[in-house]
Amino acid sequence: MLLLVACSGNSPQPERQGTPAPTGSGGLQINGAGATFPNPIYSKWFVEYERLHPDVRINYQPIGSGGGIRQLSSRTVFFGASDVPMTEEQVKGAPGPILHFPTTIGAVVPVYNLEGSPDLKLTGDTLANIYLGRIRRWNDAAITKLNPGVQLPAIDIAVVHRSEASGTTFIFLDYLAKVSPAFQKAVGVSASVAWPVGIGGKGNEGVTALVSQTPGAIGYVELVYALQNKISYAAVQNPAGEFVKGSPDSVTKAAAGATVPDDFRVSITNAPGAGAYPISSFTWLLLYREPTDKAQGKAMREFLRWALSDGQKFATGLGYAPLPQNVVTRELDALAQIKVD
């Protein structure tokens, strides 16, 4: 069973960045907030790291990427987490330089609730038209053509999306906009958009619950949420024409050919290459380059050093992919930019 350090419902309110909270044993409590996409692996990491370092407790609230960026920018929390890199406007609007550290790689998968749980194949264009409201029933010719031999029901598609600013949404839209000019024009790419159709769920957890409870539903969640809740998810066509299911291996292949810039902000959706899953992404932990609390800054720097090395072994078992070693090496060097000495 996955151990959670904190959940958004009953967690204490995060304290100001410059005020470390005592853990009860004379150590530090470091507060963070942000993406739900990496919450399962972050929760595992924080538990494991506290076992190794009982004087450091990391409290994380999975409130969505948009909320994490806002709380970090207002210094309500010490660190943020996001599945979408901060924009230049957001970076410039923060009270100090913010560093982006990729922590793991994951997949956003289209999940669905159909009787008999048939294995489905979907193209990006088909997904885009479902979310544009142009494909409304499961037995639409566009879907049946992709799935010969599958008896698809003549029922309406119940479209589910995120209700809040979400990095998972950004990844999904980033992919759809790349493969569908109509989607790019009508909806665009952002962490929060005006959806043409559908109902919203809060967090990956909320979308997972809505799809699970709604016959005929389709949604999009991080792979681990589909695996843990045993929800069917479709194979998606990549640029090579292959229908690939999200998995640690197919996500690794998507990241293999990526050119990662010095600030680590990069998109790997619709990546070329055999076996690459097209809705893949890095997820980032965000830290101030010049933290106001040096003790917390030093503790988070050491945590990241562990997460980027020993912590990567937990990725595959939770449905994520470990970072490429060349990226890890560059990040370990970049940790020196955090000014805590």
- Taking the alpha carbons at both ends of the chain, their separation in whole angstroms is 39
* Half-sphere exposure (Cβ direction) of 211: Cα atoms closer than 13 Å: 29
Of the candidates 265, 270, 272, 268, the one whose C-alpha atom is nearest the C-alpha of residue 321 is: 268
pTM: 0.85
Per DSSP, what are the bridge partners of residue 284?
82, 102
The one-digit pLDDT tens for each residue of the chain (341 residues) are 233 333 333 333 333 344 444 444 458 999 999 999 999 999 999 999 999 999 999 999 999 999 999 999 999 999 999 999 999 999 999 999 999 999 999 999 999 999 999 999 999 999 999 999 999 999 999 999 999 999 999 999 999 999 998 999 999 999 999 999 999 999 999 988 999 999 999 999 999 999 999 999 999 999 999 999 999 999 999 999 999 999 999 999 999 878 999 999 999 999 999 999 999 999 999 999 999 999 999 999 999 999 999 999 999 999 999 999 999 999 999 999 999 98
Is the distance from CB of 289 to CB of 98 less than 8 angstroms?
yes
For the chain, domains (ranges, CATH) are 21-105+281-337 (3.40.190.10), 107-256 (3.40.190.10)
Q: At CA 188, angle to CA 183 and CA 194, rounded to 5?
A: 95
Residue type, 70: R
**Cα four-point dihedral sign 275, 278, 279, 283:** positive
Q: Of 259, 270, 252, 244, which is closest to residue 322 (Cα–Cα)?
A: 252
Among candidates 60, 24, 56, which has minimal Cα distance to 40? 60
Task: Check the CA dihedral 335-49-251-266 and report its sign.
Answer: negative
Residue 156: DSSP 8-state:
B
